[in-house]
Amino acid sequence: MDSLDWIPFSRGVRVLAQHPLGLLAVEKPAGVMAHPNPGEKSEGDAVLIQGNYSMEEEAFHVRNGAGGIRRVYLLNRLDSPTSGVLLLCLEASLADKVKKLFAQHQVAKRYLAVVRGRGLRTPRGTWQDVLTKSKGPEAGVRSAVKSAGGPPAITLYRWERAAEGGLPLSLLQLEPRTGRTHQLRVQTAKHGHPILGDRTYGDFEFNKNLGSARGFKRLFLHACETECTFDWAGQKVHFKAVSPMPEEFAKVLGDVDGGRPASLTKPRPLGTKVSPRLRVRL
């Protein structure tokens, strides 16, 4: 495979997987923007790749080290506070193919979130909500409503475990089946389990007492896995990238032994059966 040394990734960004066709996955740290956006700020205005970005092409223009310019296409996005897997591509036609898969909800995406509460009334299930977009001073902020109008935002969820030491925190696995802006952040809050560190949709006192007071200032939402399969040039292409649970998640959940996380493994697939003993009530 071609070397990717010519791509000026920002500090903390690392390559997770690379396909010979030019498809690659990277891990974006929290606080780094997927691309420059005048309406979004991040710490130090850090951007995934240091280079000119074309909103029309959805691509970074990067010098290839040989006097030329190459395009690095951004295939999906994450909010600046969210960490985890992002897909990129070096070939325009393949980039278009995969972006269509995202638009048609044919790319599997899984997230981990640390939320308020030590359990859910139903430890696994599906959330379906209609999201609306605010106007005026809070333009861009979403909210979930009961109205039947509009397409639903659909997310599969599963309770993984509660935090050690009796803290009112739980680890959830989330699999969005639609791609609404801020979908996971809005739905977790709407269903009574706001994400730790969410300054827009979360619980301010909750964040202050269980986050900032313990030195955790990030949004506890992480894109842990992305997977897709498609036909290309007569061959079946399967591409998968996994980003382990961040160390901050392990620490806030109490999964620490001698200063090292006890486990940073990815969670079980959502199809895994959940034992009846996990039916913890709030």
The per-residue pLDDT of the chain, averaged, comes to 85
Mean predicted confidence (pLDDT) in 99-114: 97
Residue 165 is classified by DSSP as: G
Beta bridge partners of 144: 131
Among 79, 129, 198, 255, the active-site one is 79
pLDDT above 90 covers a percentage of the chain that reads 68
Q: Pick 196 or 261 by higher pLDDT.
A: 196
Q: Say yes or no to pLDDT of 258 above 70.
A: no
Could you give the count of Cα atoms lying within 13 Å of 26 in the half-sphere of its Cβ? 26
Compute, in degrees rounded to 10, the torsion defined by CA atoms 169, 122, 279, 255.
-30
3-state class (DSSP) for residue 50 = coil
Measured between alpha carbons, how far is 93 from 75 in angstroms, rounded to an integer? Answer: 12
H-type alpha helices, the chain: 92-103, 183-190, 204-210, 247-253
CB neighbour list of residue 114: distance below 8 Å, 6 or more residues apart: 163, 169, 170, 171, 172, 195, 196, 220, 249, 252, 253
Q: What is the pLDDT of residue 214?
A: 78
Q: Say yes or no to pLDDT of 2 above 80.
A: no
Q: Say yes or no to pLDDT of 101 above 70.
A: yes
Measured between alpha carbons, how far is 91 from 18 in angstroms, rounded to an integer? Answer: 13
Nearest Cα residue to 37 out of 12, 4, 6, 74: 74
149-175 pLDDT, tens digit each: 678 999 999 999 999 988 999 999 999
Q: What is the pLDDT of residue 281?
A: 27
Mean predicted confidence (pLDDT) in 123-133: 92
Q: Set out the domains of the chain in order of their start, with CATH numbers.
A: 1-104 (no CATH), 105-264+278-282 (3.30.2350.10)
For the record, the structure tokens of 136 come out as: 């005026």
Q: What is the pLDDT of residue 282?
A: 25
Q: Say yes or no to pLDDT of 266 above 80.
A: no
11-39 pLDDT, tens digit each: 999 999 999 999 999 999 999 999 997 65
Residue 149, Cβ neighbours under 10 Å: how many? Answer: 7
The residue written with tokens 């952040």 in the block is 185
69-97 pLDDT, tens digit each: 999 999 999 999 999 999 999 999 999 99
Least confident of 43-52, 109-118, 202-211: 43-52
Q: What is the pLDDT of residue 150?
A: 75
Q: What is the pLDDT of residue 259?
A: 37
Kindly indicate the confidence band of residue 268, based on its pLDDT and cuts at 50, 70 and 90.
low
Q: What is the pLDDT of residue 256?
A: 53
Q: What is the pLDDT of residue 137?
A: 42
Q: Pick 111 or 179 by higher pLDDT.
A: 111
Measured between alpha carbons, how far is 108 from 102 in angstroms, rounded to an integer? Answer: 9
Catalytic-residue membership of 45: no
Least confident of 51-60, 105-114, 250-259: 250-259
Q: Pick 155 or 269 by higher pLDDT.
A: 155
Q: What is the pLDDT of residue 279?
A: 30
